[in-house]
């Protein structure tokens, strides 16, 4: 199988790539926290201005940006579940638990579920990551109708029954449960004191934008590919300019095909690994291929990111 051949060729070269030190890891998380706080401050300023089209668009942009930063915390949880975020194995558990708490989740529950995704990718009976969203039919070929359905699902709120969740268990420890309860209490107090600001700067980014980004990212990663027998065909990359990727795909999670082939590779190295993998004809064909899926035309397929990088 092609995926096996790619792994065999590059496994040794990608083994042992450097991970973040403990201070750097802490600084990365702190940077995301500061970005959220700065965005909230900017959004609060917009809300104090007279309602105009520019201020309304400014609030919408802030909401979207906050959602992407929450996605960044989620990405760090993902990296920590593979023990690739920081050097010390135990530190990955600590940092993963912190970031999971900031998005009201559980690191250990996420890790247990996500490991089934890598072991049984696309098998709805065993892949617990995809099992819960089976009703969204990510296995359907990417026709224009299917793409429209995936695009509208979060707009209509149909994704919320799976993607909006709050885990207040103490599986990560009582400290992290207390942190989650404290964050919820603070959000409620904010809602009482300033309902409009709380709604647009806390509640909607967490309960609407963040889940929507998670759903759309799952579509980018696997829609139209679920159930493929070869790992090279079961996920995709979506490449774009670095500045845009830093907003839409924090922590380089746009390289999802590479991650499935080499889950041990830290996210900071994914771009460099992509360049090396392009020397393999099978990987290059998947990344730069023009093959369409189902009834969809080549241009629409590439626009959705079907193994074709934006240039």
Q: What is the pLDDT of residues 223-262, one digit of tens each?
A: 999 989 898 999 999 988 999 999 999 999 999 999 999 9
Looking at residue 294, its pLDDT comes to 34
Which pLDDT tens digit goes with each residue over 65-97?
A: 999 999 999 999 999 999 999 999 999 999 999
Model confidence band, residue 283 (pLDDT cutoffs 50, 70, 90):
very high
Residue 230 has φ and ψ, to the nearest 5°, of -105, 135
What average pLDDT score do residues 129-150 get? 95
pLDDT above 90 as % of the chain:
87
Banded pLDDT at 292 (limits 50, 70, 90): very low
Q: What is the DSSP code (8-state) at residue 148? A: H
Tokens of 81: 């579940």
Nearest to 29 by CA among 83, 79, 63, 65: 79
**Rounded-to-integer distance, Cα 254 and Cα 306, Å:** 12
User: So what's the pLDDT on residue 303?
Assistant: 41
Enumerate residues 6+ apart whose C-beta is below 8 A from 130.
117, 121, 122, 124, 138, 222, 226
- Which has more confidence, 209 or 304? 209
Tens of pLDDT, residues 12-40:
999 999 999 999 999 999 999 999 999 99
Lowest mean pLDDT among 57-61, 109-113, 292-296: 292-296
Angle at 12 between CA 7 and CA 16, to 5 degrees: 115
Integer Rg of the chain from CA: 20
Q: What residue has token string 């241009």?
A: 299
CB atoms within 10 A of CB 153: 19
- C-alpha dist (Å) from residue 115 to 109, 119, 126: 10, 6, 10
CB 288 within 8 A of CB 308: yes
Residue 1 banded pLDDT, cuts 50, 70, 90: low
219 pLDDT exceeds 90? yes
């Amino acid at each position: 199988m092609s995926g096996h051949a790619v792994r065999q060729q590059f496994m040794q070269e990608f083994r042992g790539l450097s991970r973040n030190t403990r201070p750097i890891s802490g600084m990365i998380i702190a940077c995301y926290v500061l970005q959220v706080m700065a965005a909230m401050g900017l959004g609060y300023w917009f809300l104090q201005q007279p309602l105009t089209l520019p201020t309304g668009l400014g609030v919408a942009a802030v909401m979207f940006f906050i959602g992407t930063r929450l996605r960044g915390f989620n990405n760090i949880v993902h990296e920590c579940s593979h023990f690739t975020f920081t050097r010390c194995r135990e530190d990955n558990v600590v940092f993963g638990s912190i970031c999971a708490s900031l998005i009201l989740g559980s690191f250990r529950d996420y890790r247990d579920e996500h490991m089934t995704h890598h072991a049984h990718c696309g098998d709805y009976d065993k892949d617990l990551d995809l099992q819960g969203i089976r009703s969204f039919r990510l296995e359907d070929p990417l026709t224009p109708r299917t793409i429209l359905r995936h695009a509208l699902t979060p707009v209509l709120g149909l994704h919320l029954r799976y993607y909006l969740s709050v885990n207040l268990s103490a599986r990560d420890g009582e400290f992290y449960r207390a942190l989650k309860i404290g964050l919820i209490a603070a959000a409620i107090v904010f809602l009482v004191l300033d309902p409009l600001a709380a709604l647009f700067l806390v509640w909607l980014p967490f309960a609407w934008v963040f889940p929507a980004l998670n759903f759309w990212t799952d579509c980018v990663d696997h829609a139209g590919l679920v159930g493929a027998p070869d790992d090279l065909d079961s996920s995709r990359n979506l490449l774009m300019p670095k500045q845009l990727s830093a907003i839409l795909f924090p922590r380089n999670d746009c390289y999802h095909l590479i991650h499935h082939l080499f889950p041990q590779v830290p996210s900071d190295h994914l771009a460099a690994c992509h360049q090396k993998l392009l020397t393999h004809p099978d990987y290059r064909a998947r990344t730069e291929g023009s093959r369409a899926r189902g009834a969809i035309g080549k241009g629409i397929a590439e626009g959705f990111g079907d193994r074709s990088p934006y240039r």
